[in-house]
A and B are shown apart, each in its own frame.
Chain A
Amino acid sequence: MWVKVEPRQEASRRVIYATPVLAVGLTVLSGYFLFLFLGLAPAKTLYHFLISPTLTFYGWSELCVKAGPLVLIASGLAIGFRANVWNIGAEGQLTLGAVGAGGVALAFWGESGLWILPLMCLAGILGGMLYAAIPAFLKTRYEVSEILTSLMLTYVATLALGILVYGPWRDPMGFNFPQTRMFSDSALLPLILDGTRMHLGILVTLAVAVAAWMMMARTVIGFQIKVVGLAPAAARFAGFSRNRTVWFSLLLSGGLAGLAGTFEIAGPIGQLVPHLTPGYGFTAIIVAFLGRLHPLGIIASGFLMAISYNGGEIAQVEDRLPQAATGVFQGMLLFYLLACDFLSRYRIRLAATRREASPS
């Protein structure tokens, strides 16, 4: 017996959009058995995990706070993924963006002015772009896989942030805690709804998602990205430079990740700390794929992932669910999504071996 993988006849559009739903279903089903295995009441835990975060208005506002950075990063990543540029290091670019923006906030600490926030955003975007420029340079100049370089640079970024907040940028009045001062008000994003933590960055994110959609659907650069991803030879024929596309997608996704980092420290966090996010940069990869690399899909999947974060916290409190369960959930979701995608395009056949002695 051997396993044969053969392509199916064309997968229909309906199948392409059905796979995320199927993947979510399978994840929930597996979660049920996982909770059962952990000795919890599965139905109750699932309820806390998936439903509770959506029951109150405040719950929804918190989902927006979590979904915001995911959608912002995923919008950028999705554009690169369309061009077969695999930026896996958004977490690192987010971190460097936060360092850039945080540096501005600290440099003008105690001062006030409307120009501080825009300057922070600019510094954040530049930080993310510069950090993404490293894999772009290595890829276009030496053909080094951006998957490896962008991923590994993430760990460098986290350590660099560590050096700053444990060292020169540590809050002098902070009882030696590894964190910077709380930013002044001028360096914090205004809230858009009282009583919630929803900040201006969420509106900007929404605008970015729409702009990304426009870009992919209507502009030559969006077309170029798609052609480079689908048919590199046709892109060369059309006069689209692959290298320029690599630079563009990495700088764009890096810049948006940096902006997301800025929004985090100027929004919910309010200072620089050693660990800025629960892995938004990585989760955004799942968000991008679950959303079919489409801006609207990304918004929906961003909320789903936000539920898994907030629901994970609720279930931790209510059911003593281990913290790792959120990661397991997200991992399962990506796994099932990739599996469903694969199986919608290929079928696996078991075939009896007919080969006799193979030539030696």
Chain B
Amino acid sequence: MDEEQRAPRLALRDISKRFQSVVANDHISFSVAPGQVHALLGENGAGKSTLVKIIYGVLQADEGQILWDGRPVTIDSPHQARGQGIGMVFQHFSLFEAMTVLENIALGIDNAPDLKELADRIVTVSRKYGLPLDPSREIHTLSVGERQRVEIVRCLLQNPKLLIMDEPTSVLTPQEVERLFVTLRQLSDEGCSILYISHKLQEIKDLCHHATVLRGGRVVGECDPAVETARGMAQLMIGSELKQLVRRAGSVSAEPRLIVENLTVPSTLAFGIDLKGISFEVGAGEIFGIAGVAGNGQNELTQALAGETTLHRPSTIRLDGKAIGHLGAEQRRMHGLCSVPEERSGHASVPEMSLAANTLLTARNRLGLARQGFIQPTEAQDYAQRVIDEFAVKAAGPSANAATLSGGNLQKFIVGREVLQSPEVLIIAQPTWGVDAGAAATIHQALFKLAQNGTAIVVVSQDLDELLVVTDRLAVINLGTLSPSIATAEASVEQIGLLMGGLHGMEGEAADRGSSKHVG
């Protein structure tokens, strides 16, 4: 024990990494003790991802030293990292949809034994850690939580001494998060160190022994999350006082502005989700939330609402009484329905084009940025400038390419582009996904103001915390069906969490309960 304390499992000494003019990591030092659950806390762009990529050998540091069990090492590749006993679960999974769990794991580990033996080991490891997995299931039949299990089991099969988890809970239901924490605590008890990357403060308080806070590529603080308040950590992370959101005095009109009635859309994609009989209403001035775990039909629903998918029956979607279900995206926009798709780059914007040109995507007819088929360059420039000014978008100007903006700034621009058109109805997907707290506050404030002026807003989000703050009412989408709606003020996290697990979780749920008993 003494010896272990003298030599941390992993120690970083003055790690620096530059990308051209951007310093992603600036002399970062910290150490992780054996068995410690160590939080790496920071906003998007704070340098967390770069740092863990360096530890996992995906990137190489420009300067600095990595000590492993007290000895300096160079980690040139993920293969070498795994050889040292470092495992990593990425935020985005790398699994082949059409292959089985077993095949995917066999492809992803070094020196895989023969498949039969591997299948046995998968079952043993998954039992031991309460991560039930059937090796013969094909990936596309698994929920997102189950897919994450595949990735975790893949790491555990190599007996890691350090497990890196990059934002593991962003795709999980609250219940799944609890279950994951049981597993992680068990690993920690067995002496496996865990480097846990997150910006969710409550989770870090619940799980982690120690936290290192990064901001702008530097270590700005270390703390014991059990002692430090969430607010204190947030301020360390953001570097300034948190802005308080001003919620409007609720004046939701009873008259529904947007009525969706029995919306059914069969999926056109191989592993897509069919939308089945979705109905809801949103009043003027109301913010309606749609919660759910990723991949349960949110994209399909957003596209059907926005008009990227058109419907046969016009009356399926009605806006102020007008049937618009058969209309395409631009025609719906002309009727006052604007939308913000989830994917900022390549869907909500064209990265290779200027911000001014990007305003033409949705505002060309509504705001007359094009007339008689001709683009009005000055008007487009002016509108882009207005969005930049009113939403405090950090950009070189209206002529800057969308690709040059950071994620948060691009999102502010895209949201601003729609909000300043004062639509009657706004459909917005993942409004603050991967966006820093400052930008998120700006966006939420803009939605409040828009609602105040009578816009009916639909927010589709995986972030339950966000929905609880922003919405008046919410419903949960699960496998293409929408639950009845609940008033947000009366909703509990548990209730929503269970709906998020929905029918889809049933088999896994039963199996999980059995094995968690077995474990704990």
A-to-B contact residues, CB < 8 Å: 9, 218-221, 223, 226-227, 230-231, 233-234, 236-239, 241, 354-357, 359-360
Contact = CB atoms under 8 A, between A and B. Distances in A.
B357 A354 contact: no
A220 B112 contact: no
A359 B154 CA distance: 14
A220 B361 contact: no
Contacts of A239: 307, 328-331, 333
Interface in B412-426: none
A354 B307 CA distance: 50
A236 B155 CA distance: 40
B107 interface: yes
Contacts of B106: 359
23 contacts: A9-B20, A218-B374, A218-B377, A219-B374, A220-B370, A220-B373, A220-B375, A223-B370, A226-B350, A227-B353, A231-B347, A233-B347, A234-B349, A234-B361, A237-B308, A237-B347, A237-B348, A239-B328, A239-B330, A241-B328, A354-B77, A356-B111, A359-B106
Contacts, number: 81
B362 interface: yes
Given A220-B364, A223-B357, A231-B351, A237 B374 contact: no
A237 B361 CA distance: 8
Contacts of B110: 356, 359
A238 B330 contact: yes
B250 interface: no
A22 B346 CA distance: 31
A237 B109 contact: no
Contacts of A356: 110-111
Contact of A234 (B77, B79, B328, B348): B348
A360 B118 CA distance: 12
Contacts of A241: 328
A233 B77 contact: no
Nearest to A351: B77
Contact of A359 (B112, B329, B343, B377): B112
Nearest to B329: A239
A227 B330 CA distance: 15
B35 interface: no
A237 B362 CA distance: 8
Contact of B375 (A219, A234, A357, A360): A219
B360 interface: yes
B330 A231 contact: no
A238 B375 contact: no
A103 B40 CA distance: 77
A233 B328 CA distance: 14
B68 to A, nearest CB: 18
Interface string B305-318: 01110000000000
Contact of B353 (A219, A221, A226, A233): A226
B373 A230 contact: no
B361 A238 contact: yes
A234 B347 CA distance: 4
A236 B343 CA distance: 13
B454 interface: no
Contacts of A234: 346-350, 361
Q: Which 10 A-B pairs have the closest CB atoms?
A: A239-B330, A359-B112, A239-B329, A238-B361, A233-B347, A231-B350, A231-B346, A220-B370, A236-B308, A234-B350
A237 B341 contact: yes
Contact of B374 (A220, A236, A354, A360): A220
Given A239-B307, A359-B107, A223 B360 contact: yes
Interface string B323-362: 0000011110100000101010011111111000100111
Contacts of B348: 234, 237
A219 B306 contact: no
Contacts of A354: 76-77, 79-80
Most buried by B among A223, A237, A355: A237
Nearest to B328: A239
Nearest to B327: A239
A239 B377 CA distance: 20
A344 to B, nearest CB: 15
A340 B19 CA distance: 25
B150 to A, nearest CB: 15
Contacts of A359: 106-107, 109-112
B234 to A, nearest CB: 34
A230 B79 contact: no
A237 B79 CA distance: 41
A9 B21 CA distance: 12
A227 B373 contact: no
B87 to A, nearest CB: 17
B508 to A, nearest CB: 27
A15 to B, nearest CB: 15
B261 to A, nearest CB: 23
Contacts of A221: 373
Interface string B73-115: 0001101100000000000000000000000001101111000
A122 B361 CA distance: 35
B484 to A, nearest CB: 30
Contacts of B112: 359-360
A238 to B, nearest CB: 4
A69 to B, nearest CB: 29
A81 to B, nearest CB: 15
Nearest to B345: A231
A219 B107 contact: no
Contact of A223 (B330, B352, B375): B375
